[in-house]
Structures are given as C-alpha cells and as structure tokens.
C-alpha cells in the first residue's frame, strides 16, 4: 500500500470518526508512548471480537503480494480496526451470535451461560387453577423418548403470563353481540374472552372431577382419570353451561402448543428444548446455505430473540 493510499484511508477515518488525536497518533505526530496510550484506551472500549471481525488477519495478508510488507500492514490495520463501526450495541450483539456454517463445514455453537431460575410464582391463576394448569399441561404434552414435556419447558409459566396480555383479555377482538349458534367454521362466537374461557373451564372441570371422583379435583386424579376427562371435553360430552367444553379444550390445547414452541422470552420453551427437538434453527441471521439441504440435519443449535444459543 503506497503513501497516497495511506493518506486517503486516514483522511476518510478522520472525517467519519472525528478522532483527530487518534489519526495524529497513526501519522506519527504524537510521541510513541502517547500514541500507544491512545490506542490502548480505544482497545479497552471496543470488544475484541469486533476488532477481530473487522480485520481478520487472513484477509489482510491477501492484500499484498510482497511478504515483507505483510507485517507492517497487519499492524497498521490492527490499529485502524479499533475504530468503532457505528458503535452500536446491535452490531456487537450480531457479531456475538457467530456465523452459520455451510453444509460442508463443521463447528459448534457456544451455549450461553445459564443460571438456575427461581420457581415461578403465578400472578394470574390462583392455587387451584395453577394446580390444574400444571396437571393438564403434563397430560397434553408429556415427556417421552422424543423430547421434553410441557411442564419441563415452562409452558404453565407461559400460560400465566399470556393470560395477562391484551390478546387474552380480548382487547383486540370484537366481543359484542349477537351471540348466536353458528358453524364451527366461524370460530367461537360467545361472550367470553380467552382468559375467561380458561378460567371458567378450569372451574367447571374441577367441579366435574369432584362430582365423579369423591371430591377430588383434577390435579389430584390419576393419570388415566385425567386423560379420560380431557377426552370427554375434547369430544364435547361434558355439556357445561357457562362455556362449551369443546371450546375450552381446543383453546387450552392451542395455547399449550403456542407456549411449547414460542420464543423463550414468553416463558415457555425453556432452553429452546422444543426447537432442538424438531431441529428448528431459531433466529440465526443466516442459514440460506441449508434451505435446500434434505439429506442431513442442521448441525448448529438454535438462537432465540435475545441472542442466546442452545
């Protein structure tokens, strides 16, 4: 790289970054000790990964045909690399996620350190409702040889948090009359919003359980008895008055599925266990090389919206 090219690069950096002291250090205008101090301070501010990503040594080495020039240029660009690129937290987060592999490559994703979370305390469901939710989730998606169960992945927590959203409160739905019997193709046409469907349905299910099994509520029943009640609700055989049992079952099952496969930020899918089970890559920035690959599984674990890797 000639002297003119050096000058063009330095002027461009100075005009964009507004760092005259830094440019002067590179030009040799400052004493060596002071220049080193300036560069050291900049290095402490910028993460090492950003400097390394901005100036990989292999790319720099290929910029010259003269082996004797490689080391000075490598040193020069190493100093330039510590200038923040837009200095945005978003950029740093993207670099921290790593690069997706090509089908012929190899490597592993580094899992983010996870600290044990304290037991979740529900704020929407009361104690009886919470016991039902845990038991029902365990019956609808139990743990088996294929993957983790709904309770293990935190679906009850998802449901409790989800019931406090505008969606579950019906704030974004038309809930006025008329309330008439109509085809199932039109969906639910009743008065109750989602969170009330679940709350009223849980109360009705516990009442039916107590009537059929000597006062025991749903969560206190044996697995076979719980499954039998859920199957009756699914078939519409319980004939509740306040909410159709079939509507209750379908609503509950839908939300359990949502919590099982949703991003972990919503409370469920802890550790992206459901995504790992089905091989879903999550929010990785780029896996276009794998879109048409059918003969081998995607080798890198998923990434969630927060940038955590599994």
pLDDT per residue, tens digit, the chain (310 aa), is 555 555 554 455 445 444 444 444 444 444 444 444 433 444 443 343 333 333 343 433 343 444 445 555 545 444 444 444 443 334 434 333 444 444 444 444 444 445 677 889 999 999 999 999 999 999 999 999 999 999 999 999 999 999 999 999 999 888 888 888 778 788 788 889 999 999 999 999 999 999 999 999 999 999 999 999 999 999 999 999 999 999 999 999 999 999 999 999 999 999 999 999 998 888 887 778 888 888 888 888 899 998 898 8
Q: Are residues 141 and 267 in the same domain?
A: yes
| Cβ neighbourhood burial of 264 (10 Å; 0-12, 13-18, 19+) | buried
Q: Are residues 39 and 151 in the same domain?
A: no
SS3 category, 10: helix
pTM: 0.63
SS3 category, 182: coil
Q: What is the Cα 238 distance to its own chain's centre?
A: 38
Q: Are residues 55 and 178 in the same domain?
A: no
Query: Which residue from 25, 48, 95, 53 is spatially nearest to 286, judged by alpha carbons?
Result: 95
Q: 303 pairs with which residues across the strands?
A: 282, 309
Residue 187, domain extent: 127-285
Q: Are residues 254 and 135 in the same domain?
A: yes
Task: Name the DSSP class of 280.
Answer: -
SS3 category, 288: helix
Beta strands in 15-124 (DSSP E): none
Q: Are residues 33 and 178 in the same domain?
A: no
């Amino acid at each position: 790289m000639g002297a003119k090219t050096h000058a063009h690069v330095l002027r461009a950096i100075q005009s964009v970054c507004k760092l005259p002291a830094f440019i002067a250090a590179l030009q040799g205008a400052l004493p060596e000790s002071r220049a080193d101090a300036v560069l050291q301070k900049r290095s402490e501010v910028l993460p090492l990964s950003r400097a390394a990503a901005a100036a990989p040594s292999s790319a720099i080495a290929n910029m010259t045909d003269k082996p004797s020039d490689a080391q000075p240029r490598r040193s020069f660009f190493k100093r330039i690399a510590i200038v923040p690129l837009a200095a945005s937290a978003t950029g740093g987060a993207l670099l921290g996620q790593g690069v997706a592999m090509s089908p012929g490559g190899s490597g592993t994703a580094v899992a983010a350190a996870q600290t044990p979370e304290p037991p979740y305390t529900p704020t929407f469901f009361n104690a009886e409702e919470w016991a039902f939710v845990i038991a029902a989730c365990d019956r609808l998606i139990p743990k088996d040889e294929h993957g983790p169960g709904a309770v293990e992945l935190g679906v009850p927590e998802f449901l409790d948090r989800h019931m406090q959203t505008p969606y579950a409160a019906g704030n974004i739905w038309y809930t006025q009359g008329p309330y008439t019997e109509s085809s199932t193709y039109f969906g639910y046409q009743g008065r109750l919003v989602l969170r009330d469907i679940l709350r009223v349905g849980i109360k009705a299910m516990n009442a039916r359980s107590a009537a059929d099994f000597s006062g025991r509520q749903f969560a206190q029943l044996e697995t076979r008895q719980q499954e039998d009640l859920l199957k009756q609700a699914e078939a519409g055989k319980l004939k509740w008055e306040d909410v159709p049992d079939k509507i209750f079952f379908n609503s509950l099952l839908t939300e359990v599925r949502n919590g099982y496969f949703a991003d972990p930020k919503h409370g469920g899918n802890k550790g992206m266990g459901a995504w790992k089970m089905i091989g879903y890559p999550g929010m990785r920035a780029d896996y276009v090389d794998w879109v048409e690959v059918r003969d081998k599984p995607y080798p890198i674990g998923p990434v969630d919206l927060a940038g955590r890797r599994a």
